[in-house]
Amino acid sequence: MAPHDRPVIGFLTDFGLDGAAAICKGVMLSIAPDAQIVDISHSVGKYAIRDGAYLLWTALPWLPVGVHVAVVDPGVGTARRPIAVRTGRGDALVGPDNGLLMPAASRLGGIVEARLIENSAWTLRRSSATFHGRDIFAPVAGHLAAGGAFDDVGPAIDPTELVGLELPPAKVVNDQLGSEVVYVDSFGNLRLAGGAADLRAALVALEHADELLLELGRGGEARRATARWARTFGDVRQGELLLYEDSSGNLALAESGGNAAVRLGATTGTWVGIRRA
């Protein structure tokens, strides 16, 4: 990292709102006083690595190139490795080697270099076994933001040996597109895999306002609903379901003016099948 006037540090955790994230920020600012820290979220579901990975994947492309640190870390203090990776875009991503950083890294140009965090001059002297956010990840992010060389993180490791995590893909079978619910956002919108092109491949000659048949869940427990293919919420009536291409270019299912997750009883991992009504 070249030093910037105001280096940006993106910051995501499952720490909640009661002080742990602020402690990490205090550590970062002690090392990099001019950092511009952007809280991506600290309300990631506890231990929900995939939710955290999804949120980084949606958010980081829109943050300036910088140092980004993420901590959703059920394995804190065990053998799982603390890592930093350099992306094709020029970011440094810092966090646990549990897959959390992988989808975002891939979207930022891929991993061009990975290092094991081992520089004891960059981490806190007496590290706890339960708060590596404070003791390891925050100070490393601070040093990188302050202009420290990526080489100084620790020894290079093989990027292909990092713990992988892939967001679930869409599946097209015959005239149907299926996807797990990848993420439920704060509006209750169900974020799915695949984009408009995938849907058009499954459902030929698709036009806005076309009616679709949804099947939620699998087998005997599946529930049915109908939705319209639409550009945006206001294109259907209040209370109607719509399927749309979301702001990340993926399919998503919403209730106009309402909460689709509550209405459909869907959560992360629920299977959604989509075909013509």
Q: Which residues bind a second copy (CB under 8 A)?
A: 4-6, 8, 10, 12, 15-20, 22-27, 29-30, 33-34, 36, 38-44, 46-47, 55, 58-59, 62-64, 74-78, 80, 128-131, 134-135, 185-187, 231-235, 244-247, 257, 259
> Which of 117, 217 has the CB closer to a second copy?
117
Please choose, from the candidates 137, 110, 188, the residue with its C-alpha nearest in 3D space to the C-alpha of residue 13. Answer: 137
> Which of 106, 176 has the CB closer to a second copy?
106
Distance of CA 25 to the CA centre of its chain: 20
Q: What does each C-alpha distance from 105 to 85, 89, 204, 236, 265 come to in angstroms? A: 8, 9, 33, 36, 32
| Both structure tokens of 234 | 């206001």
> Which of 180, 255 has the CB closer to a second copy?
255
Query: In terms of C-beta density within 10 A (0-12 exposed, 13-18 middle, 19 or more buried), how is residue 218 classed?
Result: exposed
Q: How far is the CB of 174 from a second copy (least distance, A)?
A: 29
Go through the chain and tell me how many residues it has: 277
Contact 104, 57 (CB under 8 A): yes
Residue that is written with structure tokens 């699998």 in the block:
218
Residues near 37 by beta carbon (within 8 Å), at least 6 away in sequence: 8, 9, 11, 25, 28, 29
Q: How far is the CB of 248 from a second copy (least distance, A)?
A: 9
> Which of 135, 180 has the CB closer to a second copy?
135
> Which of 139, 148 has the CB closer to a second copy?
139
Q: How far is the CB of 142 from a second copy (least distance, A)?
A: 11
C-alpha gyration radius of the chain: 21
Q: How far is the CB of 37 from a second copy (least distance, A)?
A: 8
Q: How far is the CB of 181 from a second copy (least distance, A)?
A: 14
**Alpha carbon distance 64, 50 (integer Å):** 23
> Which of 19, 220 has the CB closer to a second copy?
19
